[in-house]
A and B are shown apart, each in its own frame.
Chain A
């Protein structure tokens, strides 16, 4: 059975591009364009992995979504990869070593992420 990846990102073009790459790699992709919808889909459809954008609507909505996903029993075991378009240049940097302590996600990836890299990261967290 195909593994299911949920992409939560408000940029529909980006979602479609990543969908293409991931489907090509043999994965099933579902998506949500907001944090709320993403949480709902995660609860209902229980994907095997979540790709979560940090900046949607509100500046740091992704963080709140990640917290809530982690604190609900239905979704707490789903691995999360966070995508961020702002690197450290705005002083808004994320240090996985440090930040994972208070934000328990599996990984941070800087956007844009090239297709091979994306597939590699996703598969490694899916246990391929």
Chain B
């Protein structure tokens, strides 16, 4: 634990579920349930009154009105309080619990003491305090509850205070019943506290471990990405040098070389180029992997991105008589992501649709608005993918048999990167394909905003 943390931060760090925001949300929750309890009690008393039960109704009404006013005050404080701190919220919620226990005890007294199983309701406060309060503090609350209840029972038994009967049985006069109920009450509340606090201790411990591991993981991720940057230079530099040298020789003295040598050099240059694009895609993939899922603040119009991707492929498509068909609905929401990744994602898919299309075929691009986001469908009329291969095409370096036959050039990394980017954006990708008929890739992305 850091030494520079303030006291309340230190507590907060040690005890998860113990921070100002969570406590604050618990407070509004407890105010709501207090209204429910208040109304429930009110109705219950109405029923008992109409059934002719003899109770001190004036005191009960007064108590309920008091509880309601108290809750109104809580709500007012909650609403108009601007700043909240951990300690402030903790104090506020402690007052809630303390007052609730006092009022509940008073109501139990007014409605029959041990004759009324209302004392079960103490369990709520015990569980809440066991979850919220750190260390063994919950035991203080539980002890307070127990002592209060035991004193009430004893006082009614020994006639120190009046007992309000709800049965004719005069149960409060039976010493055996009194002892039995208090003993069982004791066991129940302390066992509940024990179970809750031990669970919370375990939970907090594992939370701390998870946080620590998470931190470690982030550090490793950073190391990894700097490793990739370094590797990118180290691996690419020699290949760049090889290719540049071969090209320079070919340009300067190509015509003077024997045909066979020239062809060999050209092929060497081509292979070096292929290696470079494979390295480039591998590094891109690793980069996307190490980047992981991070919410970008950019809102992007998919239509714009797709137009750009289509423009990039236009020249190749025209040379093979492939045409584009663009279908887009209205009110397509923007998506959240970074432009670079989205361009890579759709650039790859549109590129594939052109590359593996038949000459004279069509590439259909549809943007569809869905309830939970936007889907983009990119279809071609090309070679298609065999059913048994459809799962594997997203694996790194995998190229389908048909694709390999169609063109030997290709890294097998494009779709791996596509899937990685889709994952990073929190979307999903599906493929539907029939050999010789064509393929449809569907990418669904979560919406970036309401409109």
Docked pose: A99 CA to B291 CA in angstroms: 23
With A21-B251, A21-B252 already in contact, the answer to whether A92 and B229 are too (CB < 8 A) is yes
Q: A114 interface residue, CB < 8 Å from B?
A: yes
Interchain CB contact under 8 A, B287 and A17:
no
Docked pose: A32 CA to B123 CA in angstroms: 81
Interchain CB contact under 8 A, B247 and A112:
yes
With A89-B284, A91-B287, A112-B276 already in contact, the answer to whether A17 and B244 are too (CB < 8 A) is yes
A42-90 interface with B by 8 A CB criterion = 55, 59, 85-90
Contacts of B281 in A (CB 8 A): 89
Interchain CB contact under 8 A, B232 and A86:
yes
Docked pose: A91 CA to B244 CA in angstroms: 24
- Interface segment among B132-140, B235-243, B403-411: the answer is B235-243
Contacts of B237 in A (CB 8 A): 11, 85
Q: A14 interface residue, CB < 8 Å from B?
A: yes
Contact among A91, A111, A116 for B240, CB-based, below 8 A: A111
Interchain CB contact under 8 A, A112 and B244:
yes
Most chain-A Cβ atoms within 10 A of its Cβ — which of B247, B250, B273? B247
Q: B271 interface residue, CB < 8 Å from A?
A: no
Contacts of B232 in A (CB 8 A): 85-86, 89-90
Closest to A111 in B: B240
Q: From DSSP, what is the main secondary structure of chain B's interface residues? A: helix
Q: B451 interface residue, CB < 8 Å from A?
A: no
Interchain CB contact under 8 A, B229 and A14:
no
Q: How large is the interface on A (under 10, 10 to 19, 20 to 34, 35 or more residues)?
A: 20 to 34
Query: Shortest Cβ distance from B6 into chain A, in angstroms?
Result: 37
Q: A120 interface residue, CB < 8 Å from B?
A: no
Contacts of A111 in B (CB 8 A): 236, 240, 244
Closest to B284 in A: A89
Interchain CB contact under 8 A, A86 and B233:
yes
Contacts of B273 in A (CB 8 A): 112
Interchain CB contact under 8 A, B241 and A11:
yes
Docked pose: A87 CA to B276 CA in angstroms: 11
Closest to B291 in A: A91
Docked pose: A16 CA to B291 CA in angstroms: 37
Query: Shortest Cβ distance from A107 into chain B, in angstroms?
Result: 17
Interchain CB contact under 8 A, A14 and B240:
yes
Q: B170 interface residue, CB < 8 Å from A?
A: no
Contacts of A55 in B (CB 8 A): 233
Interchain CB contact under 8 A, B249 and A20:
yes
Interchain CB contact under 8 A, B280 and A13:
no
Interchain CB contact under 8 A, A18 and B251:
no
A85-109 interface with B by 8 A CB criterion = 85-93
Which 7 residue pairs across A and B have the least CB separation, nearest first?
Answer: A115-B251, A89-B284, A17-B248, A17-B245, A17-B244, A13-B241, A112-B243
A residues adjacent to B (C-beta < 8 A): 11, 13-14, 16-18, 20-21, 24, 55, 59, 85-93, 111-116
Can you spell out 7 A-B residue pairs with CB atoms less than 8 angstroms apart?
A17-B247, A20-B248, A24-B252, A85-B237, A89-B283, A90-B228, A92-B229
| Extra inter-chain contacts (6) besides given A13-B244, A24-B252, A59-B229, CB under 8 Å | A11-B241, A17-B245, A20-B249, A86-B236, A87-B280, A90-B283
